[in-house]
Amino acid sequence: MQVLIIRYSEIHLKGNNREFFENALITNIKTALKGYTFDFSRSNARYVIRNFDTMLLDDIVDVVTNVFGVHSVSVAEEVESNYQAISQAALAIAPTTGTFKVNTNRADKRFPIPSMKLSADVGGDILEQHPDLKVDLMNPQHVVNIDIRENGKTFVYSKVIKAVNGMPVGTGGKAVAMLSGGIDSPVAVYMMAKRGMTIRCVHFHSFPYTSMQAKQKVLDLAKLVKKYTLRMTVDVVSFTEIQTAIHEQCPEDYMITIMRRFMMRIAEKIAKNYGGGAVITGESLGQVASQTLESITSTNSVATLPVFRPLIGFDKDQIIEIAQQIGTFETSILPYEDCCTIFLPKKPVTKPRLSAVEKIESVLDVETLVNNAMQTIETIVIE
């Protein structure tokens, strides 16, 4: 029988809390595989999926390898733990040319043949059928793995497919992430979900200055990252009134700084309403004017929750590389502007003094503007 073996990652280190993380991972794997038919079971420090449609194997592997907490998977043949069945299964997956070795793990110590002898004997059977092969125990091109389990079954497989690692989503608390239409913020969502956070997104939309295509682009990005976060809700906030007030009453060079402070206030309110314990942004130190140390300090000063910036030490090339890996890059570069490009100053302040920012901002009715924006929220559950 063809099965899929799933191995987990950092959960090994969790000691007495291990069951909590395991249960979360199992739930997430089953959630990710919703719509597929399969049987699921535990086998010590791994899980096994059986009785699935083998025509859908590649799809199932793709889904499971993108569940945070999964270390690797292998497509294996599950056979009875006797020499003939094991040897036949090994011959079926053995290469015909190049170098190879047989690696045996004998978890069931009742199995009568020691690991090294079984590897040698099965390797001999393979060489007899494929004389062009050569054994290389140090650096083989191919490995035939034999895993003898305690339940009288043995897994025989060749490939170990790397997965995304990380921690199961739902084990690291809740947070709200600011999701724009750019390259950085979807990557930031991915990075924090990888550490086990359940994430809800907030998007600031300035219709009619920004188009409905710009809003849809963000929802498309949310759908792409949902592949990793498993569930996704986006709160779309109308930011037009706030941007207009800032544009009319504040110096042009401070517009971005004050705009970011409003975004932080609103994101934090949403986080608290949702039960979140942090706000996430895609900022990278020094990348643009609003991401200098002084600008970040100004934004942080209005927050009472922790602000996580997982990309803070990344350069743009590194962020782009991750965006390409997770499939968000091509959507992020579509030419639809978000609210951060509206009323863009020619020369934004890069080192704003907090006292100056607060004085400039004092001409605005901050509380009313924030409360009005909160009343405009459109909550969209990504299916």
Residue 295 phi, psi (nearest 5): -65, -40
Model confidence at 365: pLDDT above 70: yes
pLDDT score for 16 = 84
Distance CA 369, CA 186 (A): 27
Per-residue model confidence as pLDDT tens digits over 338-360: 655 666 667 888 899 999 999 99
- State the Cα torsion 140-141-142-143 to the nearest 10°: 30
Closest CA to 374 of 212, 241, 225: 241
Q: Tell me the angle at which helices 83-93 and 115-129 cross, rounded to the nearest 10 degrees.
A: 50
* Largest Cα–Cα separation, the chain: 86
Distance CA 147, CA 133 (A): 22
| Domain ranges in the chain with CATH number 3.30.2130.30 | 2-162
Per-residue model confidence as pLDDT tens digits over 217-265: 999 999 999 999 999 999 999 999 999 999 999 998 999 999 999 999 9
pTM to 2 decimal places: 0.91
> Could you tell me the pLDDT band of residue 197, with boundaries at 50, 70 and 90?
very high
Per-residue model confidence as pLDDT tens digits over 309-338: 999 999 999 999 999 999 999 999 988 766
Matching CATH number, 2-162, of 3.40.50.2300, 3.40.190.170, 3.40.50.150, 3.30.2130.30:
3.30.2130.30
pLDDT score for 53 = 95
Distance CA 282, CA 84 (A): 56
Section 119-144 average pLDDT: 95
Per-residue model confidence as pLDDT tens digits over 41-53: 987 778 999 999 9
Considering the domain 174-381 in this protein, what is its CATH number? 3.40.50.620
Helix (H, G, I), strand (E, B) or coil at 91: helix
Rounded to the nearest angstrom, the gap between the alpha carbon of residue 258 and the centroid of all alpha carbons in its chain is 31
Answer with the residue of higher pLDDT: 37 or 211: 37
pLDDT score for 340 = 58
Cα 295–Cα 298–Cα 304 angle in degrees, nearest 5:
135
| Domain ranges in the chain with CATH number 3.40.50.620 | 174-381
Distance CA 322, CA 311 (A): 11
Model confidence at 289: pLDDT above 80: no
Cα distances (Å, whole numbers) of residue 254 to 84, 209, 285, 349: 76, 20, 18, 6
- Looking from the CA of 238 toward its CB, the CA atoms found within 13 Å total 14
Section 191-205 average pLDDT: 97
pLDDT score for 339 = 57
The number of helices, as runs of H, and strands, as runs of E, in the chain is 13, 15
Section 4-19 average pLDDT: 87
Section 128-157 average pLDDT: 95
Per-chain mean pLDDT for the chain:
93
Residues 6+ apart with CB under 8 A from 383: none
